[in-house]
Structure 1
Amino acid sequence: MPVTLEQIGIVLENIAPVSFAEDWDNSGFNVNLHNTDVSGVMVCLDVLPEIIEEAAEKGCNLIISHHPLLFHATKKIDSESYEGQCVRMLIERGISLYCAHTSMDSAPGGINTWLADQFALTNRCYVQNGTTEHFYEVAVHTPRDHAEAVSRAMALAGAGTLGEYTECTFRIDGKGTFRPGLDASPYIGQGGKLETVDEIRISSICSENDLQKVLCAIRNVHPYEMPAISALRTDEPQCVSSGLGVVGDLPEPSRTTDILDRLKEILQTDSIRVAGEMNGKISRVGVCGGAAGDFAGAARNKGAELFITGEIKHNDYVAHTDIILVEAGHFDTEKCFCQLYAQGLQKCFHDVNYNIAIYVTNLRRPYVNY
């Protein structure tokens, strides 16, 4: 069965939602040729004329890149410029372009998570928090003999999950009173007569994302015609669901030179740039792919003693002498994107039974050599 570009767009949101992207970014569709069926997908780091040709030769009419083709505000399309040439080639060959830039940097399981995983970092936090999801306290009064059914339905809908704990509730016994109207259909009692019932108040925490599912689950199993439900947004806890950069603890303190050797092995590169004292041992490390030298101070504030990124400006080296700075190259710190995104896309296609070929372009070497 054909799969439309719009259907694919929904799947892409499951991997790295555009809402995770920074305001200054241009993640999402850069070229959207609507009302087309997707014949194949090509994943790349950058959009280049040769990659567009490669996609066309392989029968792909959707390219997914990490870096946006249209990044800054565009006032004209010049076919002799890099952007204009690529746009013209994409349209002529009927290829749409989707870019997952800071959305994939910030997503759990994205580039920065991959970098942190290579060093087995624990006790993690984001260098810069992204999307923050609030929690709600949901409370409902139910007859005693329905308490377990209501509580179970709430849990299955996502309520009561905090970290490694599930089915967390608080219960209070009490007396409920109500007077059904003459046209009501009460589970207990008679119209016009005041009733007193032994009830249990069940309260539980749920995420903002799960709130409507929890409310629906309660109503589906609750015996009352009009159950009394309250939902109050809490200041704490909060769930940070995305962020840029990761800081975490190494499994054990390591010499700086050993960390750098491990980094070159991970990135399969022969050279990196380092500033700072290299004789001691490091316990806590920060990572952020791409150009994130301006995050050095924030990483230090989160306890990082060494910060790895792709590009660092001279001023950042000057301003942050209290942390070891490692510049490993924009290309090398982000080249993992292609395999990461292709694997995530393959899983999503499998889950929804989409039979579409996915190709990863042969990565070129960095544009700058040392």
Structure 2
Amino acid sequence: MSVTLEQVGALLELIAPISFAEEWDNSGFNVNLHNTDISGIMICLDVLPETIEEAAEKGCNLIISHHPLLFRATKKIDSESYEGKCVQMLAERRISLYCAHTSMDSAPGGINTWLADQFALANRCYIQNGLVERFYEVAVHTPRGHAETVRRAMTSAGAGRLGEYAECTFNIDGKGTFRPEHDASPYIGQAGRLETADEIRISSICSENDLQKVLRAVRKVHPYEMPAISVLKTDEPQRINSGLGIVGDMPSPLPAGEVLDKLKAALQTDSVRVAGNLKKKIRRLGVCGGAAGDFAELARKKGAELFITGEIKHNEYAAQNDIILVEAGHFDTEKCFCRLYAQGLQKRLDDVNYNIAIYVTNLRRPYVNY
């Protein structure tokens, strides 16, 4: 069975939705050769000429990279430039390119989740919240005899889910009044006469994502020609669906030096750069892959005593404010991307029985040596 690029693209949205990406980023398709049947997929950290050659040799016509090839505004494609050469190679070999950059940084189960998992951090919060999903209160008036049917329709469509609780509703008995006009087809009563009915007001919370589905479900089962439904946007609760960087509690306090030993083992690296007292006991830790030195102060405000990232600028070290800073390398803090994304994509392919080979490129060492 052939699988199109568009069908695979829909699965990629399930792993790290584009809505999770930062506004300044260029996650998503950098090169989209439409109406293509996918023969194989290559996953890499960076798009390089040798990566494109490897993909072509393995019969892949889709590359998924972490870092975008077209990151900044491009005014021209010059085949002598790095970006232009890669675009030319992709086009000649009929290979599309999809980039999961800050979308994968921010996604639950993404790069920063992996980093936090290496230290088994508890009581986690994002350093910078990403996509925040609002909630609504949906209330509907229904005849008492139909209350259970309407209530079940609401909750089956997604209403009433709060944390670890489901089917949460509030119900008030009352009297409804209405007067059908001449062209109405009332479920109860007669045209032109004021009617009174025993009704129940059912209200429940639902997420922004489920709102339209809940409203359709109510209208489908409600006996009235024009059901009375009200929708109110709430300040609380809200669901934080994504975010950059994570701060959390260590299972038990560890000297900073021992935290670094665990970090080097997890990243399989020999050295990291650090500024601060290595004997200090660390109870709360912050992590953010890539170049996130500017997050150090935000991490400190959320309780982090030590902050790990890939790159830190000189002025960010200079502004160190009672927090230990660790620079573990952009490459090393993000190289987990390939394995994480391959596992996530394989699961989605298996779920829908798409038989497509996935390859992970041979990861190069960092571009600089120490």
Using structure 2 for the length normalisation, give the TM-score. 0.97
CA–CA distance in structure 1, aligned partners of residues 228 and 80 of structure 2: 66
What residue ranges of structure 2 are gaps of 5+ in the alignment? Answer: none
Aligned structure 1 segments of 4 or more residues deviating by more than 6 angstroms: none
Letter aligned with residue 90 of structure 1? L
The equivalent residue for 1:95 is 95
Greater shift, 147-156 or 225-234, is seen at 147-156
CA contact (8 A) 1:128 1:244 kept: yes
What residue ranges of structure 1 are gaps of 5+ in the alignment? Answer: none
CA contact (8 A) 2:297 2:321 kept: no
CA contact (8 A) 2:132 2:242 kept: yes
Letter aligned with residue 297 of structure 1? E
The equivalent residue for 2:261 is 261
The equivalent residue for 1:159 is 159
The equivalent residue for 2:48 is 48
Letter aligned with residue 232 of structure 2? L
Work out the percentage of aligned pairs sharing the same amino acid. 81
The equivalent residue for 2:331 is 331
Letter aligned with residue 98 of structure 2? Y
Alpha-carbon distance, 1:280 to partner = 2.2
Alpha-carbon distance, 1:353 to partner = 2.6
Letter aligned with residue 165 of structure 2? Y
The equivalent residue for 1:12 is 12
The equivalent residue for 1:197 is 197
Q: Within 5 A, what are the aligned runs for 1:1-370? A: 1-370=1-370
Alpha-carbon distance, 1:121 to partner = 1.3
CA–CA distance in structure 1, aligned partners of residues 179 and 18 of structure 2: 49
CA contact (8 A) 1:157 1:217 kept: yes
Greater shift, 14-23 or 180-189, is seen at 180-189
CA contact (8 A) 1:46 1:67 kept: yes
Letter aligned with residue 282 of structure 1? I
CA–CA distance in structure 2, aligned partners of residues 144 and 284 of structure 1: 53
Letter aligned with residue 120 of structure 1? A
CA contact (8 A) 1:276 1:321 kept: no
Q: How many residues align?
A: 370
Letter aligned with residue 84 of structure 1? G
CA–CA distance in structure 1, aligned partners of residues 241 and 19 of structure 2: 11
Alpha-carbon distance, 1:123 to partner = 1.4
Greater shift, 302-311 or 231-240, is seen at 231-240
Alpha-carbon distance, 1:159 to partner = 1.0
Alpha-carbon distance, 1:203 to partner = 0.8
Letter aligned with residue 147 of structure 1? A
Alpha-carbon distance, 1:120 to partner = 1.5
Alpha-carbon distance, 1:284 to partner = 0.9
Alpha-carbon distance, 1:194 to partner = 2.0
Query: What is the SS of the residue equivalent to 1:212?
Result: helix
Letter aligned with residue 38 of structure 2? V
CA–CA distance in structure 2, aligned partners of residues 250 and 155 of structure 1: 38
CA–CA distance in structure 2, aligned partners of residues 119 and 215 of structure 1: 43
Greater shift, 353-362 or 321-330, is seen at 353-362
Query: What is the SS of the residue equivalent to 1:128?
Result: strand
CA–CA distance in structure 2, aligned partners of residues 37 and 113 of structure 1: 33
CA–CA distance in structure 2, aligned partners of residues 35 and 56 of structure 1: 18
CA–CA distance in structure 2, aligned partners of residues 122 and 222 of structure 1: 45
Quote the RMSD (CA, aligned, Å).
Answer: 1.3
CA–CA distance in structure 2, aligned partners of residues 79 and 286 of structure 1: 41
Alpha-carbon distance, 1:238 to partner = 1.7
Letter aligned with residue 113 of structure 2? T
Letter aligned with residue 204 of structure 1? S
CA–CA distance in structure 2, aligned partners of residues 122 and 162 of structure 1: 21
CA–CA distance in structure 1, aligned partners of residues 221 and 251 of structure 2: 47
CA contact (8 A) 1:136 1:205 kept: yes
Letter aligned with residue 353 of structure 1? N
Query: What is the SS of the residue equivalent to 1:347?
Result: helix
* 1:298-334 alpha-carbon deviations (Å, 9 max, x no partner): 1111111111101111111110231011111111110
Query: What is the SS of the residue equivalent to 1:304?
Result: coil
Letter aligned with residue 12 of structure 1? L
CA contact (8 A) 1:150 1:222 kept: yes
CA–CA distance in structure 2, aligned partners of residues 181 and 150 of structure 1: 25
* 1:163-212 alpha-carbon deviations (Å, 9 max, x no partner): 22222211111111122233333222233332211111111111111100
CA–CA distance in structure 2, aligned partners of residues 132 and 312 of structure 1: 28
* 1:31-59 alpha-carbon deviations (Å, 9 max, x no partner): 11122111111110001111111111111
Alpha-carbon distance, 1:80 to partner = 2.0
CA–CA distance in structure 2, aligned partners of residues 361 and 156 of structure 1: 43
CA–CA distance in structure 2, aligned partners of residues 217 and 352 of structure 1: 27
CA contact (8 A) 2:70 2:83 kept: yes
